[in-house]
Structure 1
Amino acid sequence: MFATAPAVTTLIRMTQAPSSAKLARVRTVAQDAMRGARWWTLLDLEKTLRADAEFWRDLWAPSLAIAAHKVGLKHARAKLDEAIGAGFHQTDLFEPELSAAFGADPDWAEVLERAKANVPAPPLRITAWPQPAAAAPLRLDRIEAHRESQLTTRLPRPAAGAWQTARDLLAWTSARWRHANARINTGDALDVLEQVANGARYSCVEYSIVLAQGLNALKIPARRVWLRRGDYHDGVGQGHAVAEAWIDDLDRWVLLDGQHGAYWADEDGRPLSLPELQARERPAKPVHVGPRRAIQDPGLWWAYFAHASVTGAAWAPDGYVPLFQDGQVLPTERLLRDAAEAYPCLSDVAIGVTAQGGAPAVRIRPEHPYAIGGTWNGDPITAPPKAPADRRFTRELDRRPGEHKAEVAALTPYGPLASRELRWTAA
């Protein structure tokens, strides 16, 4: 029995392309002859098998060399040498039959090396690509989808940039009502705004709801934040609710206080994220954009940064206390040790590989939840009007010989995000 017949015939079935009926019949007869060790039948098919350009070099020539050896023909190895001269290299498909037939030849080691040297360079190799850092799943604070358009009509029109849009909405939110300790208990941003229009006044919690859900309605990723003082499990006034947003044009998360119409900045005026604020040894400066009176005692408010949680996650390096001042449970979907795990970089992209028009292409897979496409060396990736939406993220790779690179980025309604480098080589 020809030991390699099952592997070879399986490969033929996997790769066989449409062919003439005659060639298909000959292939079947050849496969059956290999299975049944009918070597003369296989050898009698040589003329027709030579015309099988798809399989002659890689399958039929080595198979006929083995068949010729089995029946004791002189120069049995000639067809194997012919195949290797034409580029054959998959000797492992025909082991142990090849070595049993020709392994005693004095130049056999050289033959195998010649075959090995036939392996061509890959026509295309992606050598460097971006990969997002590991992070907990991102949970945003969004109003229900069927109510989002109603909320959008109540909000200020978005500006050209995400940061200006966020500042405008922060100022607008802080001006909707004067702070009071009343709570709406249930409801979303629309409910809050409707009750405010009827004269209601609410706490910091409702400012955070309107701000976070409003930002998401304007395609700025945002979530609510709960800040707590050091010993928040006892006493009064131990918590404060704010929001945070990923700002495309700043390429960072920024903490936003809807009640005070403020964000916090470092000594150079750079807006800060919650983890940056928690890591500071001294208070940062609050920057006010709304009509509310400036925070009179920054140190008092600074104490609220001792502990924090966000929509979907909480972190507590020294252990999480799940009870608040009045005994209520502080739920969280995911407990983390490191705040960094709750802060994915939303300008990150992953790279997928796909086919476009039968050619190799890469697909940009953004981390940003509101990405509308991708950019390639600064230019938006275009697609025909009726093409699937994912075509706006897909680009065919240049296959001209040489080294290639591209700067790829996600595209949002506010423009392209920070780019990442992709490299590949073509033979």
Structure 2
Amino acid sequence: MARPQQLARVRTVAQDAMRGARWWTLLDLEKTLRTDTEFWRDLWAPSLSIAAHKVGLAGARGHLDEAIEAGFHQTDLFEPELSAAFGRDPDWSKVLERARANVPAPPLRITAWPEPGPAAPLRFDRVEPHREPQLLTRLPRPSGGAWQTARRLLAWTSALWRHANARINAGDAVDVLEQVANGARYSCVEYSIVLAQGLNALRIPARRVWLRRGDYHDGVGQGHAVAEAWIDDLDRWVLLDGQHGAYWVDEEGRALSLPELQAREHPARPVHVGPRTAIQDPALWSAYFAHASVSGVAWAPKGYVPVFQDGQVLPTELLLREPEDAYPRLSDLGVAVVALDGAAAVRISPVHPYAVGGVWNGAAIAAAPGPNAAERRFTRALDTGRGEHRAELAALTPYGPLPSRELRWTAA
């Protein structure tokens, strides 16, 4: 058995001999090359057959037959030399068939996996990270699921002050709350700031929404600011009005998203959870759903009017025709294929911005403490037992697991 350093030198000499057509040099190395268990079957044995043919040795195909018997199948790597040497042999077609039959089944094949739908980049309204602890001390604590927590925060926000047309014009939810504590009163805009940033602080994805009536480029009272949130336990987006402490539902009592409200022919019913005056005229307020934009995105099927009633420009980071791409399903996920302790594994890649781990067949993926613990909470090795396998994957948020998606694979 050749030592590693000696084998490395022999490999180099053999490769140079093959490239330089020094066939006898290659043949003289056979004894050592046979000890190279990594490359003997798939490289040296076929090469020696070609070399033996080149110098006219009898039984030149013997090394190739030996390699095929051991499982060699990559004949294409040695063409056209192999066919030139042995293509006229009466059984050559059968030799090639035997080689092709050696291709083993893949040890693993992933056959079905989840993919996130297309979506425009999402931008959520959050306070700066260093300000978030200050905001959290002022908010009601989470209770129950995401929907119960969101409604509680909605009611709390609407009760903070009585609406006025004053504007803070700068700052975040902490600034608004500090000024309100000193007696300030603000407009719908400030309600939307507190609500959206409060929801995100509680790990409920939320963003601000600007609603506008039909001909909003002229007149007064043409706009209204609210918020919307992805509610984990409803698996949907819901529009939330911080000023009125309200959300809207359909005839079955299902909380509605902004695109659903825009698509309705008849006004939806508002549901109030706060102490402020209820919306007395749903039809009047539903007129604000005519045009809308959210943090970072606006859409306008018939063309976008970028000027508001007082002449101010209505900027947007991305302009769409339809709202669908602005509303990804945040329970969606993708998968990455990675190595976990040397084994093939998949890593769950959630769309949800506040996912804290992955769920595999209903159980949270456990990870031992360590520098990669956060990453390992999303990663699971694939079962390599022979046969077909399936697993239900989901993202885990602070409010529990999201709806699952299926992964399938086979192992040989």
Aligned partners of 1:110, 1:230: CA distance in 2, in Å? 77
1:301 aligned to which of 285, 305, 308? 285
1:43 aligned to which of 27, 34, 45? 27
Where does residue 7 of structure 2 map in the other structure? 23
**Correspondence 1:210-289 to 2 at 5 A:** 210-289=194-273
Where does residue 396 of structure 1 map in the other structure? 381
Q: What letter matches 1:148 in structure 2?
A: E
Aligned partners of 2:68, 2:308: CA distance in 1, in Å? 77
Aligned partners of 1:302, 1:293: CA distance in 2, in Å? 17
1:329 aligned to which of 292, 297, 313? 313
SS for the counterpart of 1:154 is coil
Where does residue 163 of structure 1 map in the other structure? 147
Aligned partners of 2:145, 2:358: CA distance in 1, in Å? 17
Aligned partners of 2:292, 2:12: CA distance in 1, in Å? 70
What is the aligned length? Answer: 410
SS for the counterpart of 2:150 is helix
Where does residue 115 of structure 1 map in the other structure? 99
Aligned partners of 2:352, 2:57: CA distance in 1, in Å? 68
Aligned partners of 2:321, 2:151: CA distance in 1, in Å? 31
Superposition deviation, residue 370 in structure 1: 0.5
Is 2:189 the counterpart of 1:205?
yes
RMSD: 1.1
**Correspondence 1:131-150 to 2 at 5 A:** 131-150=115-134
Aligned partners of 1:227, 1:55: CA distance in 2, in Å? 69
Superposition deviation, residue 77 in structure 1: 0.8
Q: What letter matches 1:426 in structure 2?
A: A
Q: What letter matches 2:91 in structure 1?
A: D
Where does residue 83 of structure 1 map in the other structure? 67
Q: What letter matches 2:399 in structure 1?
A: Y
1:360 aligned to which of 344, 354, 358? 344
Aligned partners of 2:120, 2:336: CA distance in 1, in Å? 21
Where does residue 297 of structure 2 map in the other structure? 313
Aligned partners of 1:237, 1:381: CA distance in 2, in Å? 51
Aligned partners of 2:398, 2:3: CA distance in 1, in Å? 51
Where does residue 411 of structure 1 map in the other structure? 396
Unaligned runs of 5+ in 1: 1-17
Comparing 40-49 with 116-125, greater Cα deviation is found at 40-49
**CA offset digits 1:359-382 (Å, max 9, x no partner):** 000000000101111000010000
**CA offset digits 1:73-132 (Å, max 9, x no partner):** 111111111111111011111111111111122222222222111110000000000000
Identity of aligned residues (%): 81
Aligned partners of 1:238, 1:77: CA distance in 2, in Å? 87
Aligned partners of 1:160, 1:385: CA distance in 2, in Å? 28
Where does residue 10 of structure 1 map in the other structure? none
Is 2:58 the counterpart of 1:74?
yes
Aligned partners of 1:337, 1:19: CA distance in 2, in Å? 68
Is 2:347 the counterpart of 1:382?
no
What TM-score, normalized to structure 1?
A: 0.95
SS for the counterpart of 1:231 is coil
Where does residue 9 of structure 1 map in the other structure? none
Aligned partners of 2:222, 2:285: CA distance in 1, in Å? 10
Superposition deviation, residue 26 in structure 1: 2.0
Where does residue 36 of structure 2 map in the other structure? 52
SS for the counterpart of 2:317 is coil
Superposition deviation, residue 22 in structure 1: 2.4
Q: What letter matches 2:390 in structure 1?
A: K
Comparing 166-175 with 188-197, greater Cα deviation is found at 188-197
Where does residue 3 of structure 1 map in the other structure? none
SS for the counterpart of 2:346 is strand
